[in-house]
Amino acid sequence: MFSTLTTPQEPLLNEKAIHEIGNIDDGVNSNPVIDSAKYIYEKTKIVELNPEGIESASRYIHSRLLADAYSPGTWRTQPLHLCPPPIYSAKDPRTRATLDWIFLISSLNFSFWSELEGQSSRYAIQWLEGWGSSQTKSWTGYWSLLAAINRALEAHIPITDPAFYSSELLCPDSLIADIFTAASDSAESIPLLRERIMVLREVGFILCSSFGGSFQGFLEEFQRRNNNAGTALQLVHVVTETFPSFRDETWYHGRQVFFWKRAQILVAETWAAFYPVPPPGGSNAEPHPFFPNGIEQLTMFADYRVPQILHHLRLISYTPALLSLLRNHVPLAPGSPEELCIRAASILAVEAIRDKILLINAGSSAVSSVLIDFYLWDLAKSIEKGEKNIEGIETVEMIPAHRTRSIWY
């Protein structure tokens, strides 16, 4: 179906997944992504974990999470995020709007690295500095996706409505191309536009055919089948079973391996967006409407930006051959040993950070791999912009992020 997929083609609608939605035994604490990462890491010693770097970086990250008061609630402070009502209500139209927005963003959250990295002519979207702002700016990378979608919504184009974007009649390819029109000084267009259109058609069709035309309908069916007790990891399983374009999976040395970057981040963004806000003057908030038991089973989201900061912090180290490839901007093919090992080692490094922080916190469950990923991604972007420097621990040269074109990340 997609030129960038590495899994066999399957029907758009997985009937078994729809009829058995949520009926998946995820074990006690077993995430196949972690098992896959361990398998790849053991088979391919191209990227190594650095115990000394893990020790020092874990203490640094823990201190910064505390100093910056970094929490799931930080999600609502991002200027381009479309936020739900502060108090959850399934009937509030803002709830459905936010869920459909998150689902669309997660469906298209891939391949934003630029051939013109660091240059003003790279692909960018011109839009407001944030919702409610009167000033505009050029947004690049992942933020260009949000800016393009928000700009369309501001122009009263219902681009987050699955009934709209699944229809070639209501939403022709030319309109989608217009939505992603770059700023006037950009010399690039958005990467993988054809693949993005195909993803929109696929996921929109499935939501409209089986879940009432919204991600909220999908979540309600998941909750109904699980008596409102389904876990975050079970939801990840169901997302990958239901939507082929979320199946970030491949085969390596005779074994199927899983990363599920976009499926996990879809669940994590939903968790963060709807994280209960404590009442004014109070310390206790309501239970999470979707994940009352938390999201601790999820891993980091194996992309290209977080591995870059993990290497900078000396959590992972690269062979000289891999360093040469990265410094010379040599593309890494999807499913190549180098690409798989970078992603696998990154997952294990963040798991190690989490375990160290939990030891420091004497068993507190307040820190998850998801929250650490959110923080590291924000940190990497701040360093890239020259807004932050890391002080107090040893770092190494910031190596260019690896370049792999795919729909997975």
* Residues known to be catalytic: 303
Angle between helices 337-360 and 51-67 (to 10 degrees): 60
Phi/psi for 136 (5° steps) reads -110, 165
Q: How many angstroms separate the CA atoms of 368 and 370, rounded?
A: 5
Instruction: List strand residue ranges (DSSP E) for 262-387, in order.
Output: 316-318
Q: How many angstroms separate the CA atoms of 32 and 42, rounded?
A: 15
Strand partners, 76: none
**Cβ contact 213:163 at 8 Å:** yes
User: Which residue in 288, 275, 284 sits closest to 374, CA to CA?
Assistant: 275
User: Which residue in 1, 28, 38, 47 sits closest to 339, CA to CA?
Assistant: 47
Give, in order, the Cα–Cα distances in Å from 155 to each of 7, 151, 158: 37, 6, 9
Other Cβ atoms closer than 10 A to 321: 9
Residue partners of 200: CB distance under 8 A and separation at least 6:
104, 107, 108, 165, 166, 171, 176
Residue partners of 155: CB distance under 8 A and separation at least 6:
none
Q: How many angstroms separate the CA atoms of 37 and 344, rounded?
A: 4
**Cβ contact 238:26 at 8 Å:** no
**Cβ contact 21:222 at 8 Å:** yes
